[in-house]
Amino acid sequence: MGKTEENAKLSRFISLILRHNPAAIGIKIERVGGWADVNQLIEGINAKGKFRIDRPLLEKIVATDSKGRYSFNADGTKIRANQGHSIDVVIEMEHRQPPEFLYHGTAWRFMNSIMDKGLLPGSRNYVHLSPDYATAVTVGYRHSKPEQPVVLKVHAGQMTADGYDFMISDNGVWQIAQVPPQYLAIMESETTNG
């Protein structure tokens, strides 16, 4: 396995620990802020034996992550995932007025349920919405491949007018408790065959 691939796997493992399962390496995450102790994280990962990690490598993963998934606290003793948790944490996020439209990529097989109940957070703490169509395609593809994803246009401006509260994580992912179906529209695919 190449170094890049190895680091990508390690990053996914860190994401699993910080968002979903700190017990996988026997550590705890602070409920308020979602912080884990950096030394405990490093020692826990090494003790597990699957990966070797030290502080410089962890810093590199945090600095180069394609989606800015992780942050250190001010003195660098703690680390967290910025969003995407299923465990019970309270991450302070900026409440902000969203643009008129946001986007959500998903798979066609979920559409009956989504048009019936709206977008629900599932196992995560919030529904995630993308700022642009292209990002939504990438997110949706995770669930739909090998088929094309469906992209939903979310009428965020109307939701705000109706009193819904939007938050944005430190790494720019919009978060909301739910999106009722009346604010959703299925988009025509913007991809062409050439």
Name the phi and psi angles at 108, rounded to 5.
-60, -35
CA distances to 2, 22, 97, 132, 163 from 16, in Å: 21, 8, 30, 26, 33
Q: Is the dihedral of CA 52, 23, 144, 150 positive or negative?
A: negative
State the minimum distance, in angstroms, from the CB of residue 31 to ligand HQG. 20
Q: Which is nearer to ligand HQG, 26 or 122 (CB)?
A: 122
Q: Which is nearer to ligand HQG, 40 or 171 (CB)?
A: 171
State the minimum distance, in angstroms, from the CB of residue 88 to ligand HQG. 16
State the minimum distance, in angstroms, from the CB of residue 172 to ligand HQG. 10
Strand order in the sheet with 70-72: 36-37, 78-81, 70-72
Residue carrying structure tokens 């299923």? 86
Question: CA–CA separation, 6 vs 144, rounded Å?
Answer: 25
**Token pair belonging to 84:** 């995407």
Contact residues for 9 (Cβ-Cβ < 8 A; gap 6+): 1, 51
Q: Which is nearer to ligand HQG, 78 or 128 (CB)?
A: 128
Q: Which is nearer to ligand HQG, 43 or 143 (CB)?
A: 143
162 DSSP assignment? T
State the minimum distance, in angstroms, from the CB of residue 90 to ligand HQG. 19
Q: What is the CA radius of gyration of the chain?
A: 18
Q: Which is nearer to ligand HQG, 46 or 121 (CB)?
A: 121
State the minimum distance, in angstroms, from the CB of residue 89 to ligand HQG. 15
Q: Which is nearer to ligand HQG, 123 or 193 (CB)?
A: 123
User: By the criterion CB under 6 A, which residues form the site for ligand HQG?
Assistant: 67, 69, 84, 106, 110, 113-114, 117, 119-120, 122-124, 128, 139, 143, 173
State the minimum distance, in angstroms, from the CB of residue 75 to ligand HQG. 25
